[in-house]
Amino acid sequence: SGTAETPGVITMRLGDLVVVLNAAPTTADQRLAAPAGKTYALHPVQAKGADSTVKRARYDGESATFTVPGRTVAVFTLR
């Protein structure tokens, strides 16, 4: 919480997973420091699923930024 937080977005790190819940209508970028030398990918269940919106979710390792479309919950796992 606080003034630097993105309204409508909750980001959680749960062990090897990062969950981004974006309740806002627009795409959200969330920065979260990744463990050194690690990168994240969309969870295989979501990556292979039928939801084309969640498949647009991504992680940029250079900026340590998770990008999640509006009104989407994306689960990322360490590679």
The 3-class secondary structure across 40-61, one letter per residue, is EEECHHHHCCCCCCHHHCEEEC
Region 28-48 average pLDDT? 88
Region 24-48 average pLDDT? 90
pLDDT at 35: 65
Please give the mean pLDDT across all residues of the chain. 92
- What is the Rg, in whole angstroms, of the alpha carbon atoms belonging to the chain? 12
pLDDT digits (tens, 9 = 90+) for 41-71: 999 999 999 999 999 999 998 888 999 999 9
CATH match of 9-78 with 2.60.40.1180: yes
pLDDT digits (tens, 9 = 90+) for 10-19: 999 999 999 9
